[in-house]
Amino acid sequence: AQKITQTQPGMFVQEKEAVTLDCTYDTSDPSYGLFWYKQPSSGEMIFLIYQGSYDQQNATEGRYSLNFQKARKSANLVISASQLGDSAMYFCAMRGRSYNKLIFGAGTRLAVHP
């Protein structure tokens, strides 16, 4: 079965510091993709970063990077230089080759303090 686990219901970080949001996954598909989305209080799901299972390099997008450890089945999101606007819910999600849909974790609420 495919499953995403986010073990941190809430995280706090000081502005300008880095923070890591944890994500572990389980899948039997040899090929899969991992996504991170941000959901502010307004409700829209904003795509942040994508990592393919066969990608050799860890994905990076501006202040976001994905620490992909395939053997450990983890895909942690690292946000560098946190900003107040980063306060939101963050969801890790997975898509496998055998299924055309995203499986989401329960999310982590990040609060950035000034």
Partner 1 sequence: GAGVSQTPSNKVTEKGKYVELRCDPISGHTALYWYRQSLGQGPEFLIYFQGTGAADDSGLPNDRFFAVRPEGSVSTLKIQRTERGDSAVYLCASSLGGDGNYGYTFGSGTRLTVV
| Alpha-carbon span 54 to 105, nearest angstrom | 21
Nearest to 96 by CA among 5, 40, 29: 29
Query: Closer CB to partner 1, residue 68 or residue 90?
Result: 90
Query: Closer CB to partner 1, residue 43 or residue 114?
Result: 43
Instruction: Output the smallest distance, CB 16 to partner 1, in A.
Output: 28
Query: Closer CB to partner 1, residue 12 or residue 99?
Result: 99
Instruction: Output the smallest distance, CB 72 to partner 1, in A.
Output: 21
